């Protein structure tokens, strides 16, 4: 049987964990994650074989790996969710502050939205009582992305790209709020437009820029003595 989920345990001190829940559906998001993992030697979890579906069906390999309820089902939990949480726990237990980066694909038609013709990435971090990271982390990560020439938008409140739904994988650390303290929770939903991943060369180029951004963010996030105040920018929302 073809491997449904690929898991690589990171061998670097960088405690980032990168995930492709729809690696078999969102064009080249699997390659994005593979390339970032190779660049940074971080932990990665990629869904290759669970076909996206509203209903979980083990016998037909159907599940939505971005659904918290689906990834708690038998087998898919062992294959997909457990490696994510195991990697997260390992980093915390070794004294590092990990972060979860969940890679998705969005169609280029999103650029037809008014004032979004230059959109490259949409970052979702929840809101209100379901923020998936603190404001400093959100703004600093966006700053690192813009430094690599990505045009960054934020998922707006009540929008489909906010990563705020209680069943959205981006909320997995909040789902275990009795296990993880607020300061230990850091998760980003990253939507990448099709034009940045519509062939192998573009995908690899985009992945290397994402890897540089993630690495810079993680280095400073874990250097608590040198964390600094940053000017919060009003990134456009969508």
Could you give the domains of the chain?
5-226 (3.40.630.40)
Instruction: Categorize the per-residue pLDDT at 234 as very low, low, confident or very high, splitting at 50, 70 and 90.
Output: confident
Q: What pLDDT, on a 0 to 100 scale, did the predictor assign at position 226?
A: 57
Rg (CA), the chain: 17
pTM (global) more than 0.85: yes
Specify whether the CB–CB gap between 103 and 18 falls below 8 A. Answer: yes
102 forms beta bridges with: 19, 189
Specify whether the CB–CB gap between 122 and 164 falls below 8 A. Answer: no
Considering the chain, what is the average pLDDT of its residues?
Answer: 94
Binning the chain into helix, strand and coil, the percentages to the nearest 5 are 40, 20, 40
**pLDDT tens digits, one per residue of 6-21:** 999 999 989 999 999 9
**pLDDT tens digits, one per residue of 53-86:** 999 999 999 999 999 999 999 999 999 999 999 9
Q: What pLDDT, on a 0 to 100 scale, did the predictor assign at position 104?
A: 98
Model confidence at 1: pLDDT above 60: no
pLDDT, average across residues 150-155: 98
**pLDDT tens digits, one per residue of 81-102:** 999 999 999 999 999 999 999 9
- Residue 101: its H or E element: strand 99-106
Q: What pLDDT, on a 0 to 100 scale, did the predictor assign at position 222?
A: 83
Q: CA dist 84 to 77, 87, 199, 233, Å?
A: 10, 5, 28, 31
Question: Alpha helix (H) ranges present in the chain?
Answer: 29-40, 68-71, 76, 82-93, 135-147, 172-175, 200-221
Instruction: Categorize the per-residue pLDDT at 225 as very low, low, confident or very high, splitting at 50, 70 and 90.
Output: low
Q: What pLDDT, on a 0 to 100 scale, did the predictor assign at position 90?
A: 95
- Distance (Å, whole) CA 175 – CA 164: 12
Specify whether the CB–CB gap between 153 and 237 falls below 8 A. Answer: yes
């Amino acid at each position: 049987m073809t491997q449904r989920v690929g898991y690589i345990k990171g061998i670097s001190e960088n405690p980032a964990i990168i995930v492709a829940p729809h690696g078999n559906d969102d064009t080249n998001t699997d390659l994005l994650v593979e390339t970032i993992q190779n660049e940074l030697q971080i932990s990665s979890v990629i869904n290759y074989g669970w076909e996206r579906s509203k209903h979980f069906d083990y016998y037909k390999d159907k599940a939505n790996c971005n659904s918290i309820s689906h990834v708690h089902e038998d087998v898919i939990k062992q294959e997909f969710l457990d490696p994510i949480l195991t990697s997260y726990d390992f980093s915390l237990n070794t004294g590092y502050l990990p972060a979860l980066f969940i890679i998705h694909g969005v169609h280029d038609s999103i650029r037809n939205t008014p004032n979004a013709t230059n959109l490259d990435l949409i970052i979702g971090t929840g809101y209100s009582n379901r923020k998936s990271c603190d404001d400093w982390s959100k703004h600093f990560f966006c700053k690192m992305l813009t430094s690599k020439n990505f045009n960054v938008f934020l998922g707006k409140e009540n929008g489909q790209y906010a990563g705020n739904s209680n069943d959205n994988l981006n909320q997995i650390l909040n789902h275990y709020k009795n296990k993880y303290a607020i300061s230990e929770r850091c998760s980003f939903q990253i939507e990448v437009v099709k034009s940045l991943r519509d062939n192998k060369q573009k995908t690899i180029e985009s992945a290397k820029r994402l890897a540089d951004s993630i690495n810079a963010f993680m280095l400073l996030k874990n250097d608590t003595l040198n964390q600094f105040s940053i000017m919060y920018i009003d990134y456009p929302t969508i």
